Amino acid sequence: MGLATIASRAPVAMQVRWHLGVGSEPALGAHLVTPRRAYSHHGIYVGKGNVVHYAGLAQSLHRGPVEEVTIARFAAGREVWIEPGDRPGYADRQVVERARSRLGENRYRLLTNNCEHFCMLCRYGENRSEQVRACLTYPRAAMGAAVSLFKMSINYFAAMVANHADALVDVKATASAPPPKSA
């Protein structure tokens, strides 16, 4: 198993860290957050080292469905922390059930149904995203996030083109190779 570090956003004196495979883990239904280039990605801890999240833009620029993944895959090599907040409106197991009931759903929308909306709905029954609110309240922050996403998309498409070009070179090399000699 890979390593993931979980830290609460509590004051440093109260900070708690958790390493995958050590034996301790977040509470069932915990709201987990991991930083990405232009945003924070959110998921619900469902036990046994797994997280349910809206894949959305987590792995690429393509929308993705609600899925259950390992915490290492959710973290994607980044730090993970437990989002502090009010006591959820549902019991821990209910939060997990609510998250799993949406597995396979594929209605991701950046402004109205993203990974943070998903977590808030699972924990509190409220459709809200502080990241979206902050972008709408502070347009300068929104522009910074948009620029970062744009740069990320350029890198993503450049990598796709490079991979496609490599594949074409392989096909041409195979096509131009002399046929094998028969015995």
Placement of tokens 């502080």 in the chain: 130
DSSP 113: B
Q: Quick one: 145 exposed, middle or buried, by C-beta within 10 A (0-12, 13-18, 19+)? A: middle
pLDDT of residue 63: 73
**Tokens standing for 167?**
């594949």
Which residues, 6 or more positions from 126, have their beta carbon under 8 angstroms from its beta carbon?
89, 120
Domain ranges of the chain: 5-137
Query: How does pLDDT run across 140-151, given as a tens digit for each residue?
Result: 766 665 666 566
Q: Does domain 5-137 bear CATH number 3.40.190.290?
A: no
How far is the C-alpha of 120 from the C-alpha of 40, rounded, in Å? 14
Which stretches of 21-105 are DSSP H helices?
71-75, 92-100
Radius of gyration of the chain from Cα atoms? 20
Average of pLDDT values for 57-82? 82
Which one-letter amino acid corresponds to residue 118? F
Q: Is the pLDDT of residue 155 over 80?
A: no
Provide φ and ψ at 4, rounded to 5°.
-140, 140
Which one-letter amino acid corresponds to residue 139? P
Range in 23-27, 34-38, 39-43, 137-141 the model is least confident about: 137-141
Placement of tokens 């570090």 in the chain: 5
Placement of tokens 């070179």 in the chain: 169
Average of pLDDT values for 127-145? 74
Give the chain's mean pLDDT: 76
Query: How does pLDDT run across 78-120, given as a tens digit for each residue?
Result: 888 898 877 888 999 999 999 999 999 999 988 899 999 999 9
Q: Quick one: 94 exposed, middle or buried, by C-beta within 10 A (0-12, 13-18, 19+)? A: middle
Q: Is the pLDDT of residue 27 over 70?
A: yes
Rounded to the nearest 10 degrees, what angle do helices 115-124 and 92-100 cross at? 140
